[in-house]
Structure 1
Amino acid sequence: MASPQAQPAAVVQGPNYRFTVLTSQLLRLEYSPDGEFEDRPSQVVLHRDPEVPEFRVFDKPEALEIITEHVHLVYDKRPFTPHGLSIKVLGKVSNYHSVWHYGEVGEKNLGGTARTLDGIDGPCELEPGLMSRYGFAVLDDSETLVFDEAGWLDTRTEGRTDLYFFGYGRDYRKCLRDFYRISGPTPLVPRFTLGNWWSRYHRYTEDEYRGVIERFAAERIPLSVAVLDMDWHLTDIDPAHGSGWTGYTWNRELFPDPEGFARWLHDSGLALTLNVHPADGIAAHEEVYARTAEALGLDAEAGDAIAFDPTDPEFLRAYLEEVHHPLEDAGVDFWWLDWQSGPYSRIEGLDPLWVLNHIHFLDSARNGRLPLTFSRYAGPGSHRYPIGFSGDTIVTWESLAFQPYFTATASNIGYGWWSHDIGGHMWGYKDDDLATRWVQLGVFSPINRLHSSSMPFTGKEPWRFRADAEAAMGEFLRLRHRLVPYLHTMNHRAAAEGRPMVEPMYYEYPEVDEAYEVPNQYLFGSELMVAPIVSPRTRSLNRASAEAWLPPGQWFDFFTGTRYQGGRRARLFRTLDSIPVLAKAGAILPLVHGEVLGNGVAAPERLELRVFGGASGAFTLIEDDGGASAGERGHQVRTPIEFDWGTGELKVKPCEGAADGVPAVRSYDVAFVGVEDPSGVRVLSGGREVSASVSYDGAARTLQIKVDDVAAAEGFTLATDGGLALAPNSTVDAVERLLEDVHAKFTLKGDIFARVASGEPPAAVVAALAGMDLDADLFGALVELILADAG
């Protein structure tokens, strides 16, 4: 339900102007030549009734001033001009840069997102976002449509100005939370969307598609979503009756039993989505044509195509009920709305893409389901209709290099659920390293959807690639499904707290310059930080690298356990089977145990808890029943987990709540990363000591404890005798592995190794290596390892 009417106490109004103090940092600015103002909800803003903040008003004949704790507005009571309307942001950023004058875009805007990456080869221009290093941004809502009392769209009166001023300084998370307060929150997406998606624009037969799914299963690579691109429907159409681009009738030469195929996919643990291009309407050859024409009062015998009309509620009702619902009843779980026909319709300002997103999302909540659509971005407010399809990118390193920045920056306009064509869609070139690095990015993205075009040789099946690339892809795709408990908890966090899964580094470190200087590095949920590799490897090292900034504190490599001292820039080198994914000290990461992986994303009966040493931490695992009310506590299971570094004690507390599909009894594998072997370990559950299997991996510096059959209602406590201590990095071993790969003279490699193994202080070793006239990449890779935990 929308709540568009502002509280009267928040409004300062004159004959032709109206200012609404929504928060102490968010103002609505309206000018109306006719003296009337808009109080209906818009496509972007649904709510204008938050609690009224404290503010002061000075109403003088020559000017009006409104002052809150955070902003100071000055207005000369005439039509809005740069000379007569200004707002200064108060606080840390307050200087001459932090004053906005009407009409200014403002410098240092941190960017938002773009409608599509179709045909993009590298970077593209982004629309402005809600944040700026100078502390303000303005969202112009003057041209959007508004909802009438029936819930349909209506045009506004021309000539009125309707702006929202965000004056949040560098409190970016608060800015985003308040944007969600007025625009509506990001919805919870179904758990199954968080696994691996298989997609390709290819004229599959049913047997061929089954074969691909079965091959993934044989390779032990799990999937959760099956995508069929447009060739699921009839495409070879007489041009006099349609283009074949739009279609709603299964091609039974390719899929003779669509209902049976959908059942097989569901029985195999996968959801099904179909691609649709609605622009051509419903042609006479479609199986649904006659009943749709009848529902609309049209003459089906005439055979005229039913035009796609996003401005007609009656057409849209029939489009959903007569065309889409029967296909959903036969097994389609959600739709890939692939609108590529522009923003125009019979009503000026009504974008068909926005209408499709809106009606499909609301309609998809039928029958107790979590709503879901998969479509393109249609402007601010589109976060209410996840998931986003970013479009058809070119298969190049340049395209890959843009996507981490693009994904993280979209959070600046609240858009947290981009799904990219992982591996790239079309053209470009074959490069096994590129394909592998793209999969690695996909695994640490909101959605991981492998995709490619219908061109020969472009498929993203891992077995199409070189053996080392195939092995790396397989391990990362398995890791994606292991991460689902963590990802789904972050899914809940996004919906409840307004925290996108992927955030730019400056969200956490807004006052640190370095946080703005690593555009491809990002926070991935509450526990992880990722610096994807987006450039080719150096052949002489057999490694590629990423420039990163390590924030203050201690950070652990997720894959190797190497500990890094933060507060510095670093160049991080990785072989093809790894990328820089760092966990903060004290991080707790819930994972599906690798032995129980399979298709789908059901809540597992065996969990791994990976706990990183060096600091205390806490994490609450959130699971749900998967229904439309999964965002409500009454349909959730919350398992609080606490780690006390000082005592070396881990508590998995009794769960809170109950929900269908969440095991009442679980087994746990706890892995303490980066620690020494303690003298003893005890596990207690339900007030009694229970048996556990304890081992220590010296090479990985990891303590492992297995606890079986724990009642969720009781939880358990794991205590280490004498607490835990950090283990030093295995620097000599790591350098030895590096030198094994290096293409250089054996004598030089021997000299390097001798120096590293000498036992000298790290700084002295680095100084000695600097005098050896080493290749810059080799020197950089050595410095990373030698100084990792030395700072």
Structure 2
Amino acid sequence: MARANGIDPSTQKYVPYNATSKLYVSTWFDKVMRPLENEGIDLWWLDWQQGEDWVPSPPGLNPTIVLNYQYYTNPYHWRYTNTRPALLHRWGGLGNHRYQIGFSGDVIPNWDTLQLQLTFTPTASNVAYTYWSHDIGGHVTPPDAELYTRWVQWGAFSPIFRTHCTKNANNDRRIYTYPWSYFSTLQHFHKLRQSLLPYIYTQARLTFDTSVGSVLPLYYNHPHHQEAYTFNREYYFGESMVIAPVGSPIKNDSGMAEWSFWVPPGEWTNLFTMERFVGPIEVNSKFTIDELPALLKSDSIVPMLPNHVPALGQSHLVPHQIKWIAILGSSKQGSGMLYDDHGDEANYYDQNTFAWTKASYSISGDGKNVEFVISKMMGSFSNMPTHRQYEVHLKSVLPATSVRVNGQVVSAELYNDLVPITNDKNSFAYDGSTLSVVIKIGVAQSVRSDVKIQIEFANEISQISTMNGFVGKLKRFIKAKNMLDDQWGTRTSVFQDDYPNLLYAAGMGEKLSGVKADDAARTLSEFEKYAKIACDELKNITNISPSLQSKLNAQLC
């Protein structure tokens, strides 16, 4: 490095950094950076501090934007590889949206910081910058478990999901070091983020094609609604979702956080509770630690990864299994798109370098039959799969009576979330805990042919009013059962004999999973009856702490 820049190495003189010297920069990339890339480094994380002026450069030159440009367009990278450049660095000013993934610096963990990021990140799309990342949980000091959990929830629905903190033994981001009540939620949202990769990648392609960010303020789509400006901590996450991460702490008496959100025009369903809303409407609600407003358009279909697809180190690979999620609302039809390309090749904009797959559904006039079609893949790329396996989840419905895949009858099975897609076998089941018909197509299907699925129901879809919000209520009853079960053997013991109706309500998901399709509506209608009786039961359980009883009453009754 010294010799190439005219300095005798024997003098031990420092080689000053000079971002404006072509000789220095080319030598730096060729002699220092390139050998490290040869060892396997494919992402550079720079940490140049904005405002530093000790680098020799013309007056007014911003070294940050220069570094971002140089690292992203590095000719010594392109000369040897066809992989995409990747850079994590600070914001260098207008125009930097073309280069680096940003990080927002060493923030202090508190609720104000979290709320600021909820506004700041989508607003950055106004200058075409959609790929902000943040130190989830803050940087300089340890966050408490609740704050960290809410931050991870926001991170799961943010442009870049990244945890980071200063080097401190007490400042831990490993989710398994947190108490179980938080760990289980943290784990769920980490897995959810992984499963959303096909949707996120599809939205990233749309951002590339349109220059409109994948994380947007509400007013982009609803400029004439004042609420779209008022609710500035809420945003579009891609085309099909609206997210309003909870940014306030839980109240001790209820075990819930109060948070308001706005439902845009149209029909939307909360992914976590299956509560359906028709907007525009402002909603004031309360959320337990595992809940938040995550709204999905009722006529959309979202591509995801099945739960059992290996995650670690696999995110850049083209998936051979895809899960399609559709919430069947009042709309008679819906659709969604999946984008695929090589995953790492630099050329992803010419013909024969990418492909699109469309999924769609239509509901018959009597509302009892659904045709779900996974259309043949349009386009091609170098490592495109020839066949794929699928899961199709139709949510907010009662059990199906029959399913056919490409005209062939599919066997019905009891739902088991622990069983992955089975090779060479198609099946369908009903998950009563999420009110979902789950179709698993284990017989690999050619991506060059349509896959047509016919689903028949005993009841008209969305006819049963008791389905609205049932999933969220059921989850709370299951949590309540677990909290009461945890009292066994304590000084103030309670036993399951003290809350039989709560047990019945908490087990409704399993009952629905095994019930005949013709009996499902009647079985579901029993839930509200037992839920009401369970609330009366709670009042008679006096040998638990007032704090626990207060939380249970607030969350269930």
Both proteins in one fold, TM over 0.5: yes
Which one of the candidate residues 369, 372, 375 is aligned to 1:650? Answer: 372
Counterpart of 2:240 in structure 1 is 527
Distance apart, 1:721 and its partner CA: 3.2
Which one of the candidate residues 315, 319, 343 is aligned to 2:28? Answer: 319
Check the 8 A contact 1:669/1:706 in 2, yes or no.
yes
Check the 8 A contact 2:136/2:163 in 1, yes or no.
yes
1:330 is the counterpart of 2:39: yes
Distance in 1 (CA, whole Å) between partners of 2:409 and 2:387 is 15
1:618 is the counterpart of 2:338: no
Correspondence list, 1:187-586, <5 A: 292-340=1-49, 342=51, 344=53, 345-363=56-74, 364-366=77-79, 367-427=81-141, 429-586=142-299
1:374-405 CA distances to partner (integer Å, 9 max, x unpaired)? 11111111100131111111111211111111
Q: In structure 2, do the counterparts of structure 1 residues 603 and 675 end up closer, same or farther at CA, with 3 Å as the change threshold?
A: same
Distance in 1 (CA, whole Å) between partners of 2:8 and 2:475 is 75
- The alignment partner of 2:150 has SS state of helix
Instruction: Tell me which moved more, 308-317 or 417-426.
Output: 308-317
Structure 1: which amino acid aligns with 2:113? S
Structure 1: which amino acid aligns with 2:210? E
Distance in 2 (CA, whole Å) between partners of 1:724 and 1:525 is 30
Rg larger in structure: 1
Structure 1: which amino acid aligns with 2:451? F
Structure 1: which amino acid aligns with 2:292? I
Q: In structure 2, do the counterparts of structure 1 residues 643 and 736 end up closer, same or farther at CA, with 3 Å as the change threshold?
A: closer
1:498-543 CA distances to partner (integer Å, 9 max, x unpaired)? 2211001111111001111111101001111110011111222222
Check the 8 A contact 2:274/2:472 in 1, yes or no.
no
Distance apart, 1:730 and its partner CA: 5.4
Instruction: Name the structure with the higher helix share.
Output: 2
Q: In structure 2, do the counterparts of structure 1 residues 724 and 655 end up closer, same or farther at CA, with 3 Å as the change threshold?
A: farther
1:330-382 CA distances to partner (integer Å, 9 max, x unpaired)? 11112111001625453122111111000000015451111221111111111
1:630 is the counterpart of 2:364: no
1:720 is the counterpart of 2:439: no
Distance in 1 (CA, whole Å) between partners of 2:37 and 2:93 is 28
Q: In structure 2, do the counterparts of structure 1 residues 637 and 695 end up closer, same or farther at CA, with 3 Å as the change threshold?
A: same
Distance apart, 1:598 and its partner CA: 2.5
- The alignment partner of 1:597 has SS state of coil
- The alignment partner of 1:642 has SS state of strand
Counterpart of 2:429 in structure 1 is 695
Q: In structure 2, do the counterparts of structure 1 residues 540 and 781 end up closer, same or farther at CA, with 3 Å as the change threshold?
A: closer
Counterpart of 1:710 in structure 2 is 445
Distance in 1 (CA, whole Å) between partners of 2:204 and 2:157 is 14
Q: In structure 2, do the counterparts of structure 1 residues 734 and 396 end up closer, same or farther at CA, with 3 Å as the change threshold?
A: closer
Check the 8 A contact 2:272/2:472 in 1, yes or no.
no
Check the 8 A contact 2:403/2:409 in 1, yes or no.
no
Distance in 1 (CA, whole Å) between partners of 2:212 and 2:248 is 29
Check the 8 A contact 1:478/1:597 in 2, yes or no.
no
Check the 8 A contact 2:137/2:143 in 1, yes or no.
no
Instruction: Tell me which moved more, 724-733 or 437-446.
Output: 724-733
Distance in 1 (CA, whole Å) between partners of 2:257 and 2:225 is 27
Q: In structure 2, do the counterparts of structure 1 residues 735 and 325 end up closer, same or farther at CA, with 3 Å as the change threshold?
A: closer
Structure 1: which amino acid aligns with 2:396? G
Distance in 1 (CA, whole Å) between partners of 2:476 and 2:38 is 56
Unpaired runs of 5+ residues, structure 2, are 411-425, 484-497, 506-526, 531-549
Distance in 2 (CA, whole Å) between partners of 1:594 and 1:734 is 20
Distance in 1 (CA, whole Å) between partners of 2:355 and 2:152 is 31
Correspondence list, 1:58-207, <5 A: none
Q: In structure 2, do the counterparts of structure 1 residues 386 and 431 end up closer, same or farther at CA, with 3 Å as the change threshold?
A: same
Q: In structure 2, do the counterparts of structure 1 residues 515 and 365 end up closer, same or farther at CA, with 3 Å as the change threshold?
A: farther
Structure 2: which amino acid aligns with 1:630? Y
Distance in 2 (CA, whole Å) between partners of 1:699 and 1:455 is 41
1:173-209 CA distances to partner (integer Å, 9 max, x unpaired)? xxxxxxxxxxxxxxxxxxxxxxxxxxxxxxxxxxxxx
Distance in 2 (CA, whole Å) between partners of 1:677 and 1:703 is 6
Distance apart, 1:588 and its partner CA: 0.8
Distance in 2 (CA, whole Å) between partners of 1:690 and 1:386 is 50
How high is the TM-score relative to the length of structure 1? Answer: 0.55
Distance apart, 1:676 and its partner CA: 2.9
Distance in 2 (CA, whole Å) between partners of 1:517 and 1:358 is 36
Q: In structure 2, do the counterparts of structure 1 residues 737 and 462 end up closer, same or farther at CA, with 3 Å as the change threshold?
A: closer
1:659-704 CA distances to partner (integer Å, 9 max, x unpaired)? 24442211111001112334432221xxx53643122233422111
Counterpart of 1:674 in structure 2 is 396
Structure 1: which amino acid aligns with 2:302? L
- The alignment partner of 1:458 has SS state of coil
Distance apart, 1:757 and its partner CA: 5.0
Distance apart, 1:724 and its partner CA: 5.9
Unpaired runs of 5+ residues, structure 1, are 1-291, 760-776, 787-791
- The alignment partner of 2:121 has SS state of helix
Q: How many positions carry a matched residue from both structures? A: 464
Which one of the candidate residues 608, 616, 630 is aligned to 2:323? Answer: 608
Distance in 2 (CA, whole Å) between partners of 1:526 and 1:706 is 26
Counterpart of 1:135 in structure 2 is none
Check the 8 A contact 1:678/1:724 in 2, yes or no.
no
Counterpart of 2:422 in structure 1 is none
Q: In structure 2, do the counterparts of structure 1 residues 716 and 578 end up closer, same or farther at CA, with 3 Å as the change threshold?
A: same
Distance apart, 1:471 and its partner CA: 1.4
How high is the TM-score relative to the length of structure 2? Answer: 0.77
Structure 2: which amino acid aligns with 1:641? A
